Amino acid sequence: MRKEPYNTESGLFQQPPREGKAMYKIIITAVGKIKTRYLTEGINDYLKRTAPYAKVVINEVNDEHIPESASEADIKAALELEAKRLERFIVDDAFVIACDLYGVQKTSEQFAETFAKQALYGKSKFCFLIGGSYGLTERLKKRSQLRLSFGRMTYPHQLMRLILVEQIYRAMKINSGGPYHK
């Protein structure tokens, strides 16, 4: 079976071709590259499972090296450079979701409802933004229609991608009436 690469820079993430047209187009753009094989394999597994419901594109942008002794101004400047890279992948007519530690927390069912409600308004494109170690700029957070938190715990941003694609798959199964969410 031929695989289509969905990572514009490294080609690590694969989603198999699907029959017919998927209901949603989901773009996940994240700061930093995944270098761990088990995370890549997990992400690819959920991309495969999600293929009947959504076309998922994952983009990785370079992160800025921020030394531990960096000033607030240095951190802000680095975040701004990362934000410019992330913005290249935001689609104009998409519902933009910023993954943010201080965003709204949702249950899996409420997350699924986000997709269903937006579909009622004619939205089928979603852009998820995942920042690096210092998160996202306030400008990107304000640009998003939803600031989504996966809890107050801190997760490595590479692991966050796996958690996000799993929750997207879970949302698709919930909305289709599938048994996965139990």
Number of compact structural domains in the chain: 1
Residue-level pLDDT at 6? 44
Residue 181 lies in a domain: no
Residue 180 lies in a domain: no
Residue 182 lies in a domain: no
Residue 149 lies in a domain: yes
Residue-level pLDDT at 182? 59
Residue 116: closest CA among 179, 175, 71: 175
Residue-level pLDDT at 9? 47
Percentage of the chain beyond pLDDT 90 is 75
pLDDT at 47 over 50: yes
Summarised one tens digit per residue, pLDDT across range 139-156 is: 999 999 999 999 998 888
Mean pLDDT of 132-145: 95
Q: Residue 42: give the domain boundaries.
A: 4-175
pLDDT at 22 over 70: no
CATH code at position 171: 3.40.1280.10
Residue-level pLDDT at 16? 55
Q: Tell me, yes or no, if the pTM score tops 0.85.
A: yes
